[in-house]
């Protein structure tokens, strides 16, 4: 398996997303960003620990939901296409990312 250098665009893998997929993922990220800003505000206002922890758990759940949506898209498009093209390394890549997410 070729290692990618991640230093130039020639070596990085990319994926063009549909406008709908892009919009859905960006909306999730914007909500997560808003939640994190809310936690920072709570901290600045000396909010009670459990209130901050509750909001932090909500951010974690939101990130998990983002990851699930992106992973589903990845499997349905990138992984399927790679396997169809005979690139079995896609399965190893998928297993590696699933281990990191779990």
Any domain includes 7: no
Q: Which residues have CB under 8 Å from 39's CB, separation 6+?
A: 52, 55, 56, 59
Euclidean distance between CA atoms 20 and 17, whole angstroms: 8
Question: Is the CB of residue 48 less than 8 Å from the CB of residue 60?
Answer: no
Any domain includes 13: no
**Residues 6-17 pLDDT 10s:** 556 566 889 999
**Residues 26-68 pLDDT 10s:** 999 999 999 999 999 999 999 999 999 999 999 999 999 999 9
Any domain includes 35: yes
In this predicted structure, what is the pLDDT of residue 13?
87
In the chain, the number of structural domains is 1
Looking at residue 97, which CATH number applies to its domain? 1.20.58.1000
- pTM comes to 0.82
The residue assigned the tokens 């992984």 is 79
What is the pLDDT averaged over residues 88-97? Answer: 94
Euclidean distance between CA atoms 102 and 100, whole angstroms: 6
Any domain includes 89: yes
The half-sphere exposure of 29 on its side-chain side, counting CA atoms within 13 A, is 8
Any domain includes 75: yes
In this predicted structure, what is the pLDDT of residue 1?
43
């Amino acid at each position: 398996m070729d290692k990618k250098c991640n230093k130039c665009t020639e070596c990085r893998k990319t994926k063009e997303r549909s406008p709908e997929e892009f919009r859905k993922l960006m909306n999730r990220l914007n909500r997560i960003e808003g939640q994190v800003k809310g936690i920072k505000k709570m901290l600045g206002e000396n909010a009670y620990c459990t209130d901050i922890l509750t909001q932090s758990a909500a951010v974690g759940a939101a990130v998990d939901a983002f990851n699930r949506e992106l992973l589903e898209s990845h499997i349905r498009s990138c992984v399927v296409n790679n396997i169809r093209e005979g690139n079995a390394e896609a399965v190893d890549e998928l297993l590696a990312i699933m281990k990191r997410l779990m």
